[in-house]
Structures are given as C-alpha cells and as structure tokens.
Structure 1
C-alpha cells in the first residue's frame, strides 16, 4: 500500500516541475503505474495547480524585489525599460486569458502564470485559465497514453 502512496506522491510532485508537468506525469501514471486515466488526471492537475499558485504568488513578489533593487541602483538620467513590443502585442491580441491558456499548451503553465501576473493581470483569472489550459493538455495526454498503450500491446501480441 505504501508503494501506491509513493506513486501518487511522485505524480503529484513531478507535475509541479515546469516543462515536465502533465506532459510526463499523465503518461507515466497511466502506462507505468497503471492508474485509471481519471485518477491520473486528477493527481497531475492538482499538482500542477498547486505549483501554478506558488509561481503566481512568488513571481509577483520576486518582481517587486527586482524592481526595488533596480530602482535603488538606477542612475537618475537613465530611462525606465519598456515592455518588449512582441510581448505587449501578444498580450493585447489574446488578452490575459488567452495568453494563460496558450502558455500551458506551448511551454510551461507555471512560467506563463508567473509572467502574466507580473504584467498586472488578475491572479484569479490567471489561475483559472492557466489550469484550464493545463487540464486540456492533461486530457489530450491521457487519451494519447491510453491509445498508445493499446496500440503497443496489440502490436506486441501479433
């Protein structure tokens, strides 16, 4: 029974790691640990949601700290840096919700949530839309894992 708890903890904590998140944990839980797909989804999404919350909170606090240090050592005649035009145009085009959803799909939900909250988006919106994006990726990975497992087992049993 303790082995099952360790497997749950493994899936939960690895889903907290940026870039690994649900891309690795859902297939591992379904194929290697033989979890039911729904259970694997729940554990991975909860782990990812917890880390998104941490990145959102500490991302804002770290940004405040860097701005405080930057303003302390900044020379009076230098002009403050502006936001990269690419980032601003993407943010203006898709909005905070779209950027949060796409960050979960394209690179890392944690880093995307931390970056968007530092730009001033609502924390609750960022949390909800980032988790919706991560959940969508998790469902796709679960479907692919189940299909791939059946495909491989049917090829092996030839």
Structure 2
C-alpha cells in the first residue's frame, strides 16, 4: 500500500504532490510518519512533505475525535464488553495518561484510533487533541528526517 501511495504521489504534477501526501497522511496506519516518508521519496522538500503529512493526519484525527466526543455525549450509558485491544488500550490509558498514550500509542495503533478511544474513555477532548497533535508532529518530523537522511545517503553514494 505504501508503494502504491508513493507511486500515486510521484505521478501527480509537482505542484500537486503535496496533496497526495496530505491524503496519505489522513489514512490510519500511514499517518504522518509514513506520509512524510512518501513525500520525501517522491521528491518533495522534507519540510513540505512533513507538513503535508501532518496536516492530513491531524485533519482525520480531528474528525474522528470530534465525532467520538459527540457520540459519547449522546450515548454515555452503553455497557458493552470491550474488545481485548480496547481493554489493552484502556490499561495503557489508565497507566500513562493522555500524554503517554498519545506519544507512545502510535507504536501500537493509529493516532485516529487511540485518540477516539481516549475520548470515549472520558478523557478531555481538548487535551487529547493537543497531545495527539504534538505526537503527530514529532513522529512525522522523526520519520521525515530519517527518510531525508536516507535519500541523502543514496544520492551521495
């Protein structure tokens, strides 16, 4: 899937490649980290690649968090048995809080899922959004920088 997204982004006219990266960043499991890599490998300036991937990731996360917040307010009495994955996320949330789950949660699940779950657990919507944006930016910058260094090494070799 990453290769297909990279090919799609590379095939766009240069002035529109950043839109391909925004779209890739909005996809769960691609997010800002792989979106920024896709942009760098497609030939975008690393700052533009990271920025576009972050914008896509943040936009999709916001839509889901705001939707989950609205649904939680409407249906706060649902007592279904949570799935094992949701139980594991809840334990991590209880142990590490919003900041910890936001910063480390992307190693297990996409930011869209972790953010939505935290809001459904009752975490403050604005705190979740703040820490998710911080996490999305940090992961995007880290992977974008690694991709830029890798491309630089290939060019030098």
Specify the TM-score bucket, using the shorter chain as the normaliser. Answer: 0.7 to 0.9
Residues 48-67 of structure 1, C-alpha deviations (whole Å, 9 max, x = no match): 11111001022234556776
- Label 1:124 to 1:67 Cα distance change in 2 as closer, same or farther (>3 A): closer
Q: In structure 2, what is the equivalent of residue 75 of structure 1?
A: none
Residues 103-139 of structure 1, C-alpha deviations (whole Å, 9 max, x = no match): 2343211111111000011111101101111111111
Question: Structure 2 CA distance, aligned partners of 1:39 and 1:86?
Answer: 35
Q: In structure 2, what is the equivalent of residue 60 of structure 1?
A: 69
1:25 and 2:23 matched: no
Residues 13-32 of structure 1, C-alpha deviations (whole Å, 9 max, x = no match): 11001001123211121121
- Label 1:109 to 1:129 Cα distance change in 2 as closer, same or farther (>3 A): same
Q: In structure 1, what is the equivalent of residue 114 of structure 2?
A: 112
- Label 1:40 to 1:152 Cα distance change in 2 as closer, same or farther (>3 A): same
Could you tell me whether the CA contact under 8 Å between 2:33 and 2:144 is conserved in 1?
Answer: no
Could you tell me whether the CA contact under 8 Å between 1:26 and 1:44 is conserved in 2?
Answer: yes
Q: Normalized against structure 2, the TM-score is what?
A: 0.77
> Alignment partner of 1:22: what SS?
helix
> Alignment partner of 1:107: what SS?
coil
Could you tell me whether the CA contact under 8 Å between 1:100 and 1:113 is conserved in 2?
Answer: yes
Number of residue equivalences: 143
Could you tell me whether the CA contact under 8 Å between 1:100 and 1:116 is conserved in 2?
Answer: no
State the structure with more CA Rg: 1
Q: Normalized against structure 1, the TM-score is what?
A: 0.77
Matches within 5 A, 1:9-158: 9-32=19-42, 34-62=43-71, 80-81=79-80, 86-155=88-157
Gaps of 5+ in 2: 1-11
